[in-house]
Structures are given as structure tokens and as C-alpha cells.
């Protein structure tokens, strides 16, 4: 591995970690960087997943003050996240990732539009408690989280934005608590996928090691400093990230 390649990998992982801590979509930085340096697509996907899931410990630590508030939601969403992540990672090893990857720009754009519109729907959600077990919105959210987890285990770009949109429709209003819950659930999805990829022999270990160091720093910085920014600015940043990632992937697909 050349010095330039190592620098590119650690920089992309650090930037991806910071983006994932705030909104999601960091895979769209690490995955293309690995491809640029000659890594096979499936190996690149698996290596990126492993590096970012280890690095996610930095953002979980950064959001530790929100754990108590999000614990009830975590207990509800964790089983669907684990099951979906396992299914998605199994699908990757038995199918062509290019087919699903073509859906990425549409999924990110759709999720960003949902996130923009969630304020209008939050008022409707507050008319009746969506947090009660048995509420239609609750079961719909669990089903949606399972779908997000399947996608996350398969490719993963944009799952943070999808989860933030879902949590917003459930009536959660504190963006920092939403980010904390999103990061924990995302780590569960990616952890299951990473274990599967390791067992399948899909990891480029030297590249995974150097990217993990960058991801740890990026995740912690993103989680730490995002909480010092007013919630309105964080929401604006999330929207900008979503639209930018969507535009970049559309351009890549249809140029």
C-alpha cells in the first residue's frame, strides 16, 4: 500500500465517520475510494462496512448522554435491525450488488424528501401516542426498520437518513436523540453484516485497519461537535448531505 493510498483511505474514512454520525451516507465516500485503488466491489463493500462499524464506537461514545432517553426505542428496533442486517449481508454474498446499488440515489433522495416533510406530519403523530405498543405507526416503523436493515446489510449507503425520516414520523423531535438512536441501530446492522463478511473471507485487512483509525476519529468528531450546533442547523446539514449524496450518485449512475 502506497503512502498516497493510505492517506486517501484514512481521509475518506474520517469524513465518512463524521457524515454518518450526523446523517448517514458515509459509505458513498469509502466505497468509491476503495474502488479507485483497485479493490474488487464486493471486497470494497465488506471492508468499508467493517471499518465503519468499528469506527462507530466513536459516535456512540459521543452521544452517550442521550442513551437513557432513547433506550425504550432501542429495545423495540434492535431485533428488526439485527434480523434485517443478517438477511441483507447474506444476500450480498449470493447476488450481484450492482442491481441493488442502482437504487441508492433514489433511496437517498426519497429519504431526504421524507426528512424535509416530517415536520408537517409530526403534528399528526402527536394527536395519538405513536410510542404505545400496538399503535399502527409503531408496527409500520418496525417493518420499515427491517427493510432499512436489509438494505444496510447489503450495501448501506443512506441508511442513517432513512432511519431519521422514520423516527421523525413517529414523533421524535430532538435531533440529537434521533441521531443517538440512529447510530446505535446502524451499528447493530453493520456489526451483523461485518461478522458475516469476516466469516465469508471478504475483508481486505490492511485497508480495513487503516480506515478504522480514520473512522474512529471522524465518528467521534461528528457526534461531539454536532451537539454544539442548534437543532435547526443540524437539520439543514442533514438535508444538504442527503441532497448532495443523491445528486452525486445520480450523476455517477447516469453520466
pTM: 0.75
What does the pLDDT read at residue 190? 87
What does the pLDDT read at residue 123? 54
CB atoms inside a 10 Å sphere around CB 96 = 10
Q: Please state the domain extents for the chain.
A: 3-254
DSSP state letter for 65: G
Residue 29 neighbours by CB under 8 Å, 6+ apart: 12, 13, 15, 16, 19
Looking up cell 466505497 gives: 31
What does the pLDDT read at residue 201? 92
Residue 37 neighbours by CB under 8 Å, 6+ apart: 5, 8, 9
98-104: which pairs have CB atoms within 8 A and are 24 or more residues apart? 98/41, 100/151, 100/154, 100/155, 101/155, 102/253, 104/28, 104/155, 104/157, 104/158, 104/249
Per-residue confidence in pLDDT tens, the chain, 255 aa: 888 999 999 999 998 888 877 766 678 788 888 988 888 888 988 999 998 887 777 767 777 778 788 888 888 899 999 999 999 999 988 877 677 677 778 877 887 787 777 665 555 444 444 444 445 567 888 888 999 999 889 887 778 778 877 787 777 777 778 878 888 898 899 899 999 999 999 999 999 999 999 988 888 887 777 667 676 776 777 778 778 877 887 887 777
Cα gap 185→162, rounded to integer Å: 12
What does the pLDDT read at residue 129? 46
Amino acid at each position: 500500500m502506497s503512502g498516497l493510498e493510505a492517506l486517501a483511505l484514512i481521509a475518506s474514512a474520517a469524513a465518512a465517520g463524521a457524515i454518518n454520525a450526523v446523517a448517514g451516507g458515509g459509505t458513498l465516500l469509502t466505497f468509491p475510494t476503495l474502488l479507485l485503488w483497485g479493490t474488487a466491489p464486493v471486497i470494497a463493500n465488506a471492508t468499508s462496512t467493517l471499518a465503519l462499524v468499528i469506527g462507530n464506537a466513536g459516535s456512540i461514545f459521543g452521544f452517550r448522554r442521550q442513551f437513557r432517553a432513547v433506550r425504550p426505542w432501542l429495545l423495540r428496533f434492535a431485533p428488526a435491525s439485527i434480523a434485517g442486517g443478517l438477511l441483507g449481508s447474506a444476500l450480498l454474498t449470493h447476488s450481484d450488488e450492482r442491481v441493488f446499488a442502482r437504487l441508492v440515489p433514489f433511496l437517498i433522495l426519497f429519504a431526504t424528501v421524507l426528512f424535509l416533510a416530517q415536520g408537517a406530519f409530526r403534528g399528526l403523530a402527536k394527536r395519538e401516542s405513536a410510542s404505545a405498543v400496538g399503535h399502527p405507526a409503531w408496527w409500520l416503523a418496525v417493518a420499515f426498520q427491517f427493510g432499512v436493515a436489509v438494505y444496510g446489510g447489503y450495501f448501506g449507503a443512506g441508511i442513517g437518513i432513512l432511519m431519521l425520516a422514520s423516527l421523525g414520523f413517529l414523533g421524535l423531535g430532538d435531533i440529537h436523540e434521533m441521531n443517538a438512536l440512529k447510530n446505535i441501530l446502524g451499528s447493530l446492522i453493520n456489526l451483523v453484516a461485518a461478522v458475516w463478511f469476516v466469516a465469508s473471507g471478504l475483508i481486505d485487512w490492511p485497508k480495513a485497519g487503516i480506515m478504522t483509525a480514520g473512522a474512529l476519529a471522524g465518528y467521534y468528531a461528528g457526534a461531539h461537535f454536532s451537539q454544539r450546533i442548534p437543532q435547526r442547523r443540524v437539520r439543514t446539514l442533514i438535508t444538504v448531505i442527503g441532497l448532495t449524496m443523491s445528486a452525486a450518485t445520480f450523476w455517477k449512475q447516469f453520466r
